[in-house]
Structures are given as C-alpha cells and as structure tokens.
A and B are shown apart, each in its own frame.
Chain A
Amino acid sequence: MIEQWFLWGFDALLAAGLISLAYQIVAGRHMFRSVVLFIVFGLLMAIAWARLAAPDLALAEAAIGAGLTGALLLSAYRSLITDEQESSPPSAVPRWAALLAGCLAGGLVAGIGWVVVGLQSPQETAGRLALQNLADSGVDNPVTAVLLNFRSIDTLGEVVVLLVAFLAARVVAQDINHAGPGDWLRASHREPILVGPLISFIAPMALLVTGYLLWAGAHQPGGAFQAGAVLAALGVMLRLTGRLRPTTEPSLIERSALVGGVVLFSAIGLAGAGLASAVLEYPPGWDYGLILLIETALTISIALPLTLLFSGSGGFRREVR
C-alpha cells in the first residue's frame, strides 16, 4: 500500500520537475544555465521513459542525451560566446505578437486535446497485431520486430533522412572548427593528465557496449539506433580530445560506410521481391541472420554521420600524437 503512495509521489514529482525544467530552459535569459538545465532534463526524461516501462526509449535518451546533445549544445555555446562581440543582440519580440502566438498555440493544444479525449479507443490496434505475430519476425524483441520486419520501410526512410541531413549540412557548411579540442593541443597548454587513461579505458568499453546493444536488440531492449548513438558518442569524445582530426573530404572507406546501411538494406529489401513474397520481405528462415546483418550495417551508417555532423567536417583522419 505505502509502496503505491511512494510510486505515485515519485511520478508526480517527476512530471512536475520535467514541466518546470522545460519552462526554465525556454524562458530563461541565461544561456549557459539553459544548456545545463537541458542536460538535467535529459536525465529526468530517461527516468520518465523508465517509469513508463519503455527501456528502448530510455536507452536512446541516455545515449543521445549524455553522449551527443550535451556536447553539441556546449560546443554551440562556445562558438556563440566567441562570436558575441561582432553580432548585435536579437531584437525582442513585441508583446502583442508573443501573446497572439501564445493564444493560438494554446487554442490548438486545447482543441487537439478535446478531440483526443473524445476518441473511442480502437478494438484492434497495430501494436496488438504485432505482438500476436512476433513469432514470425525472427526476433524476440517486439520493438526490433516492428522496426526491421513489420514496418521496415519506415526504418529505411529514417536512415535515408539521416544521410540526406548529413549531405545537406555538408552543402551549406563553412569551415567549422568549434567542435575540436580547443587549446589543449597548443604547446603551452598540455592535455589534462587523466584524459589519456580515460580514453584508453572508455574506447574499448564503448565498442563492447555497442556490440552488446546490437546483439541484445534481437531479444531485449537495444538495437541499431542505440548502438549507433553509443558509437557516435565515442566518436564525439575522440573528436573533442583531438584523437580524430577533421578533413574536408571523406575517404573512400568513410563514403562506403555512410551509404552502406542504406545500400545493404535496399538490396536485401529488393531481393525480397524475388526470393520472398514482396519487397522488404525476408525469405522464410533467414529473418534473424538478415536482420542482424542489416542492423550491423545500420549501426555504422548511423554513427558516422552523427559524429561528422557534430564535428562539422566531411571526414576524419587519425591524429598522430
């Protein structure tokens, strides 16, 4: 009984904390404070996904929030305060415009909420259907089954979106060097003494965890997106400490890694038209092996563009130290 009260209080406190944090992040005038509050928001969001019994999302939130967005925002903050002197402060929005936008957005949310509350809950949902046919998918984890078997066209689309986003960023990119190791590499400022041992321990651990998440995706929460995010976080760490140097042009290996996931996924999907009944259908008995193969290629094709987007460069070369 008292346990239920504790959980109820926990959930209420979590929801209140999330909403007030979100307000502070958007409304606060202090930029650095908003950045740190956003990092804390990511932590609370992971706990919220955990409480909603959605460990897949909690894993993605942990990998992306801790490894990518935090570092991205701090790097963006760095380049913003460096450029501050030249640029003028943005003009304030007039009060009537803010009020109008607020009223319209509030009305929209209220309208959608009213419609949603009035909806009948459907008898036969896609989720229930997916759970019923889980045995045919080749994997035991329902999320992976949906992502790579029942709705694999969506997943293919998402990977293409990531590739297109990377290409678009490259088209408009200038020579960005904000993400790099800063003044650590100058002769007068040596790298802090503990960073080397940290990298030499974290790098193999991150590779191990990437492989573990990839393998775990077949029968428990995990999969290509989470594994790719961990690998990308490792790349961000190597980039931040100057282990990886940016280059303008990707090498041949990097080019093939960038498109590898999409090409392999599409090729297997098209082959399904001949070997199985339809496009993106796996031949019977081959589901598990093909899904694992596609996931491995996708992990690399997700991790590399994310790291390159963070770094703002076309490719990497190893720094000889």
Chain B
Amino acid sequence: MSWLDVLSAVLLISGGIFFLTGTVGMLRFSSCYSRLHALTKADNAGLGLIALGLMVQAESLWVALKILLVWALALLAATVSAHLIARFSLRVDRGTQRAPP
C-alpha cells in the first residue's frame, strides 16, 4: 500500500463515519429541525470526504473534476432542499401565519 492508498482509505472511512452519524442523528433526534440540521451537515461532509478519497485515486484530472462537480451540486441541492423543507415544516407548525423567508 502506497501512502496515497492510506490517505484515500482514511478519507473514505471517515466519510463512512460521517454517514453513520447522519443516520443516527436522523433516527434519534427529537424534532424535525434538529434532524434536518444533523443530516444535511453530516452526510454532505461524508460525501465530501468519500469524494476526496476517490479523487486522489482517480485515473485522470477530468475524472477528479467530475467527482468534485458531483459534490458541489450535492451541496447546492442539499442547501436549497433543507431550506425549503424547514420552511414548509415551520409553516405547518404555525398554521396560516407567515413564516420568515
């Protein structure tokens, strides 16, 4: 095993741990908002670490860039989705009262 393999393995396994944290948070936390908070952070960090771990092993620069693009798009989608779901949930909780944007 070269040092690159070791680095990649460490990144991948810590990514897996982040995913586990996200799942545990989603199952154990008590309110919708804390669950949202737990998993949008934890699993995007996990995806980022796994993407980095795969990028150091990538066969070409383009492959590495594509993996980076996947992660960037995932971050964007997760940000907007978490915002929309939290906003929706807030409105359901408050009835017809207007939620902050």
Contacts and interface: CB of A to CB of B under 8 A. Distances in A.
A/B contact in complex, CB under 8 angstroms: yes
Interface of A: 188-190, 192-195, 198, 201-202, 205
- Which 7 residue pairs of A and B lie closest in terms of their CB atoms, listed nearest first? A198-B80, A194-B80, A193-B101, A194-B83, A192-B87, A192-B84, A190-B101
Interface in B51-84: 73, 76, 79-80, 83-84
B94 interface: no
20 contacts: A188-B98, A189-B98, A190-B101, A192-B83, A192-B84, A192-B87, A192-B101, A193-B83, A193-B101, A194-B79, A194-B80, A194-B83, A194-B84, A195-B80, A195-B84, A198-B76, A198-B80, A201-B76, A202-B76, A205-B73
Contacts of A202: 76
A36 B83 CA distance: 19
Contacts of A190: 101
Contacts, number: 20
Interface residues on B, range: under 10
Is the contact region of chain A dominated by helix, strand, or loop, or is it mixed? loop
Contacts of A205: 73
Contacts of B83: 192-194
A189 B83 CA distance: 16
Contacts of A194: 79-80, 83-84
Contacts of A188: 98
Contacts of A201: 76
A221 to B, nearest CB: 14
Contacts of B84: 192, 194-195
A192 B99 CA distance: 10
B14 to A, nearest CB: 19
A193 B73 CA distance: 18
A189 B84 CA distance: 13
A203 B101 CA distance: 23
A3 to B, nearest CB: 14
A153 to B, nearest CB: 36
Contacts of B98: 188-189
B46 to A, nearest CB: 16
Interface in B24-57: none
Nearest to B69: A205
Nearest to B84: A192
A198 B84 CA distance: 12
